[in-house]
C-alpha cells in the first residue's frame, strides 16, 4: 500500500447521482492505480436532510458499480466532538473569534449593502472584541457564532486539474465554522475529518472550488499539511447546462433498473471528463486503472451523452457469454410475464439460441424483451 489516501464524501441527502458516482470512480481509480486507500465518509451532519435510506441507496449504488471502500463507511456526525476540539484550537491560537452579532443585524447589514449595489462581507465587528470581554459574554450565556480570521493575502494551491490556482484572501469573508446553535459547519467538519483520516488527495467536483481557499486557511491555521486538490469538471446535459432531472435520470440505480450493465456504466462514467488518450472508448476496469491520471482530466464541463452510454452498453451486452446473458435478461422476461418454466428445462437451449441471435441487436437488457416477445408470447 502507498501512502495515498483518498475519500469519497457524499451527503446522504439524495440517491447516488451520476456526478457523485463519477467522483467516487475517480477516487477509486486513483487509489487503485497508486496502491492507495479509498475511504468512504458519509457526511450526514445535516440531520434534517440526511436519511438512512439515502445512505443505503448510496452504498447500493457503489456496490452495483463494483466499488467497495477500503475503509468506512464512517459517519461525520459521530465526530462532532473532534470538530469542536479543532475549533477550540483555532480560538486558542487566535485564528478564529467569537461573533456575537445577531442574525437580524447581519441580515439588515447585508440587505443594506445589497440595496446600495455593493457586495456584502462581514465587517469584522467582533474581531475587535478583546479576549476578556469575549470570554465574559460567552460565559454569561450570550449566543455566538465562531468565525475564522481569513488572512488578507493570496491563497494558492496547485490543483491537479486546474494547475496553479489563487484566491485573494482579502476578498473572502471571515466565514462561520460554528453556528450560534453550537453546531460546527461543513467547512470545519470536512477539514477536521480529512486531517484525522490522513487524507492526502481531495478529489471532488468543481462546485467545491470556492470552498478550497477557506479550507486551506483552516489547514494552515491548524498547523497541518494541506492535501493535494483535484477538482473535476461539472457534468452537463446535451444543452450544456448543468445535468439535472430535466435531462433524464440522474440516479445511478435508475440506470441499473433500466437494464444497463454495471461495467458499461462504470466505463462510461470514468470517461466523463477524462480522456485516457489512446482514443479507445471501451476500457475494462483494469485498463482504466492502469491509464488513470489527472493529465487527461478536462477543465471544462463534460457532456453526459446518453447515446454513447447506450452504444457502450451494447458493446458490453455483446460480450456477455450466453449463460450470463440468460441470467441478466431473465428478470426482465419474468417482469413482462414471458418467463415460463420450460425455459429452465426443455427449452433452455432454444432460449440460449434465441437470445444469442438477438444479442447483436440489443443495446440494453429490456430491449431483449421487445425483440423476444414474438417468439415467446
Ligand atoms: N459532502 C460534500 C458533497 O456531497 C463533499 C465534501 C467534499 O468532497 O469535500 O458535496
157-167: average pLDDT: 98
CB-count burial class (<10 Å; 0-12, 13-18, 19+) for 203: buried
CA of 304 to the centre of ligand 1 (A): 21
155-180: average pLDDT: 97
Query: pLDDT exceeding 70 applies to what percent of the chain?
Result: 99
- Euclidean distance between CA atoms 196 and 9, whole angstroms: 14
Is residue 171 classed as helix, strand or coil in its secondary structure?
A: helix
- Residues 294-328 pLDDT 10s: 999 999 999 999 999 999 999 999 999 999 999 99
For residue 11 and ligand 1, the question of a CB distance below 6 A is answered with: yes
The residue among 50 and 211 whose pLDDT is bigger is 211
In terms of C-beta distances under 8 Å and separation of at least 24 residues, what long-range contacts does 159-162 make, across chains too? 159/212, 159/229, 159/230, 159/231, 160/201, 160/203, 160/228, 160/229, 160/230, 160/294, 160/297, 161/230, 161/231, 161/232, 161/233, 161/294, 161/297, 161/298, 161/299, 162/209, 162/231, 162/299
Task: Using CA atoms of 198, 165, 17, 242 in order, give the dihedral in degrees to the nearest 10.
Answer: 170
- pLDDT band (50, 70, 90) for residue 249: confident
- Residues 10-37 pLDDT 10s: 999 999 999 999 999 999 999 999 999 9
CA of 81 to the centre of ligand 1 (A): 20
For residue 9 and ligand 1, the question of a CB distance below 6 A is answered with: yes
299 is catalytic: no
Angle at 5 between CA 205 and CA 299, to 5 degrees: 25
Q: How many helices (H) and strands (E) does the chain have?
A: 14, 12
Q: Which three cell numbers stand for residue 218?
A: 483552516
Q: What is the pTM of this model?
A: 0.94
- Residues 88-100 pLDDT 10s: 999 999 999 999 9
Is residue 113 classed as helix, strand or coil in its secondary structure?
A: helix
Q: Is the model's pLDDT at 248 over the cut of 90?
A: no
Q: Is the model's pLDDT at 1 over the cut of 70?
A: no
For residue 204 and ligand 1, the question of a CB distance below 6 A is answered with: yes
CA-194 nearest atom, ligand 1: 9
The pLDDT of residue 171: 93
Amino acid at each position: 500500500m502507498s501512502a495515498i489516501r483518498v475519500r469519497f464524501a457524499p451527503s446522504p441527502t439524495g440517491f447516488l447521482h451520476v456526478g457523485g458516482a463519477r467522483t467516487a470512480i475517480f477516487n477509486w481509480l486513483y487509489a487503485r492505480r497508486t496502491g492507495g486507500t479509498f475511504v468512504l465518509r458519509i457526511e450526514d451532519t445535516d440531520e434534517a436532510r440526511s436519511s438512512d435510506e439515502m445512505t443505503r441507496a448510496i452504498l447500493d449504488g457503489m456496490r452495483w458499480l463494483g466499488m467497495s471502500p477500503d475503509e468506512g463507511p464512517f459517519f461525520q456526525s459521530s465526530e462532532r466532538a473532534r470538530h469542536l476540539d479543532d475549533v477550540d484550537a483555532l480560538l486558542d491560537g487566535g485564528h478564529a473569534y467569537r461573533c456575537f452579532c445577531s442574525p437580524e443585524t447581519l441580515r439588515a447589514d447585508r440587505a443594506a449593502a445589497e440595496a446600495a449595489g455593493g457586495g456584502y462581507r462581514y465587517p469584522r465587528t467582533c474581531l475587535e472584541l478583546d479576549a476578556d470581554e469575549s470570554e465574559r459574554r460567552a460565559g454569561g450565556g450570550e449566543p455566538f457564532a465562531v468565525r475564522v480570521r481569513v488572512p488578507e493575502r493570496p491563497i494558492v494551491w496547485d490543483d491537479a486539474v486546474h494547475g496553479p490556482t489563487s484566491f485573494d484572501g482579502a476578498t473572502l469573508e471571515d466565514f462561520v465554522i460554528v453556528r450560534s446553535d453550537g453546531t460546527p459547519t461543513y467547512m470545519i467538519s470536512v477539514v477536521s475529518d480529512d486531517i484525522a483520516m490522513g487524507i492526502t488527495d481531495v478529489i471532488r467536483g468543481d462546485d467545491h472550488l470556492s470552498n478550497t481557499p477557506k479550507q486551506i486557511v483552516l489547514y494552515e491555521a491548524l498547523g497541518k499539511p494541506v492535501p493535494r486538490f483535484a477538482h473535476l469538471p461539472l457534468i452537463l446535459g446535451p444543452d450544456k447546462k448543468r445535468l439535472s432531472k430535466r435531462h433524464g435520470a440522474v440516479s445511478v440505480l435508475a440506470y441499473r433498473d433500466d437494464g444497463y450493465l454495471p461495467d458499461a456504466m462504470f466505463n462510461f462514467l470514468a470517461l466523463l471528463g477524462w480522456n485516457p488518450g489512446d482514443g479507445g472508448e471501451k476500457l475494462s476496469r483494469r485498463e482504466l486503472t492502469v491509464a488513470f491520471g489527472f493529465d487527461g482530466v478536462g477543465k471544462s464541463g463534460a457532456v453526459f451523452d446518453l447515446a454513447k452510454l447506450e452504444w457502450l452498453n451494447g458493446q458490453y451486452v455483446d460480450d456477455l457469454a450466453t449463460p450470463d446473458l440468460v441470467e441478466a435478461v431473465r428478470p426482465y422476461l419474468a417482469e413482462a410475464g414471458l418467463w415460463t418454466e420450460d425455459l429452465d428445462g426443455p427449452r433452455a437451449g432454444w432460449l440460449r439460441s434465441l437470445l444469442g441471435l438477438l444479442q447483436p441487436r440489443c443495446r440494453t437488457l429490456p430491449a431483449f424483451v421487445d425483440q423476444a416477445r414474438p417468439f415467446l408470447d
